[in-house]
C-alpha cells in the first residue's frame, strides 16, 4: 500500500487533535491559587495601603529585610529612629506558587531594632515577605522578595 498526501494530512490532523486534547486535559488538572480569597475587601481598603506606603517613604531610615543563607535566617531591621517598645504588627510569608504554605508571624522587635526568623523548614523557592507594622500609632508597610535555597 502506498501512502498518499491525503492519508498524510489525515494522520497529521489526528495527531494534532490528540495533542490539543491532551493539552486541554493537563490544563484542566492545573491547580490555580488566588493571591487572596478576599481580594474585593482588600481593594476597598487600598487607600489605607497607599497611606502606609507614603508613611514608609517618608522615613529617614528604611526597613531592611535580609536572608542569611549561612544561618537559614531572615533578619528584619527596623528603623532606629523609632521606639522599639512601640513597634507592633505582623509579618506575612507569602509563597506565590503554593498558597497552602503561607503563614503569619507577629513583629517582635528587640533592643537592636531587629528580628531574627528561622526559615530552615521553609520550602525552597521565591517567598514574598510583607511586613505591616506600626510605631507610635503610625502604620507602615514594607515588602521584599527572597529566594530560599
- Do the domain assignments include residue 46? yes
Taking the alpha carbons at both ends of the chain, their separation in whole angstroms is: 59
- Residue 103 is given by DSSP the state E
Beta strands in 18-137 (DSSP E): 64-68, 73-77, 87-94, 103-106, 114-118, 125-135
Residue 81 pLDDT class (50, 70, 90 cuts): confident
28-50 pLDDT per residue, tens: 998 777 667 777 777 778 888 89
- Do the domain assignments include residue 82? yes
- Do the domain assignments include residue 26? no
Give the span between the Cα atoms of 119 and 68, in whole angstroms. 10
Mean pLDDT along residues 113-137: 90
- Do the domain assignments include residue 56? yes
- Do the domain assignments include residue 2? no
- Do the domain assignments include residue 58? yes
Asked whether 17 and 9 are in contact (CB, 8 A), the reply is no
- Do the domain assignments include residue 112? yes
Q: Chain-wide mean pLDDT for the chain?
A: 88
Q: What was the pLDDT predicted at 91?
A: 95
Say if pTM beats, i.e. exceeds, 0.85.
no
The range of the structural domain enclosing residue 97 comes to 39-148
Q: Domain containing 50 — which CATH number? A: 2.60.40.10
Q: What was the pLDDT predicted at 92?
A: 94
Give the span between the Cα atoms of 120 and 138, in whole angstroms. 32
Asked whether 117 and 68 are in contact (CB, 8 A), the reply is no
Give the span between the Cα atoms of 20 and 17, in whole angstroms. 5
- Do the domain assignments include residue 101? yes
Asked whether 119 and 95 are in contact (CB, 8 A), the reply is no
**Number of domains into which the chain is organized:** 1
Amino acid at each position: 500500500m502506498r501512502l498518499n498526501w491525503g492519508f498524510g494530512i489525515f494522520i497529521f490532523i489526528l495527531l494534532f487533535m490528540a495533542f490539543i486534547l491532551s493539552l486541554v486535559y493537563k490544563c484542566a488538572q492545573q491547580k490555580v491559587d488566588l493571591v487572596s480569597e478576599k481580594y474585593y475587601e482588600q481593594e476597598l481598603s487600598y487607600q489605607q495601603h497607599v497611606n502606609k506606603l507614603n508613611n514608609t517613604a517618608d522615613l529617614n531610615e528604611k526597613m531592611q529585610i535580609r536572608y542569611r543563607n549561612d544561618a537559614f535566617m531572615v533578619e528584619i531591621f527596623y528603623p532606629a529612629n523609632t521606639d522599639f517598645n512601640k513597634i507592633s504588627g505582623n509579618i506575612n510569608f507569602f509563597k506565590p506558587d503554593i498558597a497552602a504554605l503561607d503563614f503569619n508571624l507577629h513583629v517582635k522587635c528587640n533592643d537592636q531594632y531587629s528580628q531574627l526568623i528561622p526559615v530552615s523548614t521553609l520550602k525552597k523557592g521565591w517567598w514574598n515577605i510583607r511586613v505591616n507594622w506600626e510605631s507610635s500609632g503610625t502604620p507602615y508597610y514594607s515588602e521584599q522578595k527572597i529566594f530560599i535555597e
